[in-house]
Chain A
């Protein structure tokens, strides 16, 4: 059974800092890995999807890397802003491209 772990559980940083969020998974036979953002009381917004054949994906100030063999992914946020404050979740498919197993998330607070 796939298990996804995210470290740290919470992170508080001043505005402008670069930061790294970590995600690890137990079963490396994945098709892709997704990073999501969740604002309080809201649904999920997809940030980045890395296919199993890729090593990294970039979108604006976000960069996600994937190391399948070691079962790890990182989300790098450059020059953090208060608007980045949210919970960040990583998820991997259980089988095929369908249901996802999620980590518990990293709650990020960026202070002005």
Chain B
């Protein structure tokens, strides 16, 4: 079945570091991918929609200069957390695919911890 791969699965770094997270669709082409953020014991919150070959669409309240999204190919979207601070520590998950009768597929998530 369709698989979405996310890398890395865990990142621990110092405050001020920029961190890049990759999301790949392994056996299908995805013109659109989605980035979610999840705080402990909270629901997934959509951050942005990544569009291949064009600018990402950010949800209200999400800083586009803080969370840079690049979707340079039909199988890869990247999320870069720039100058990360402890409040950016969270679980980030990407997804792709999904139609009226087919489920959306999610990556395994990236646990980001900023010290």
B contact residues, range: 20 to 34
In whole Å, how far is A49's beta carbon from the nearest beta carbon of chain B? 5
Contacts of A89 in B (CB 8 A): 43-44
The answer, yes or no, to whether A12 is at the interface (CB within 8 Å) is no
Of A44, A99, A104, the residue contacting B46 (CB under 8 A) is: A99
How distant is the Cα of A91 from the Cα of B108 in the complex, in angstroms?
17
Q: Contacting chain A: which of B13-21, B71-79, B82-90, B94-102?
A: B94-102
A6 (CB) vs chain B CBs: closest residue: B43
Are the CB atoms of A49 and B103 closer together than 8 Å?
Answer: yes
B105 within 8 A of A: yes
Query: Would A100 and B103 count as touching, CB distance under 8 A?
Result: no
Interface centre among B34, B99, B104, B111, by most chain A C-beta atoms within 10 angstroms, is: B104
Instruction: Give A91 to B45 CA distance when docked, in angstroms.
Output: 11
Residues in B neighbouring A102, C-beta threshold 8 A: 43-45
Interface size band for A:
20 to 34
Interface: B93 (CB within 8 A): yes
A98–B102 Cα gap in the complex (Å)?
Answer: 11
CA distance A34 to B99 in the complex (A): 11
Hey, what's the 0/1 contact readout for A43-67 against B, CB within 8 Å counting as 1? 1111001011000000000000000
A31 within 8 A of B: yes
At the interface, yes or no: B49 with Cβ under 8 Å from chain A? yes
Contacts of A100 in B (CB 8 A): 34, 44, 46, 95, 98, 104
Q: Which B residues are closer than 8 A to A by beta carbons?
A: 6, 32, 34, 41-46, 49, 91, 93, 95, 98-109, 111
11 CB < 8 A contacts A-B? A34-B103, A41-B91, A41-B111, A43-B107, A44-B95, A44-B106, A46-B104, A49-B103, A51-B101, A103-B43, A104-B41
16 other contacts beyond A31-B100, A100-B98, A104-B43, with CB at 8 A cut-off? A41-B111, A42-B108, A44-B44, A44-B106, A45-B106, A46-B103, A46-B105, A89-B43, A91-B44, A97-B99, A97-B100, A100-B44, A100-B95, A102-B44, A102-B45, A104-B41
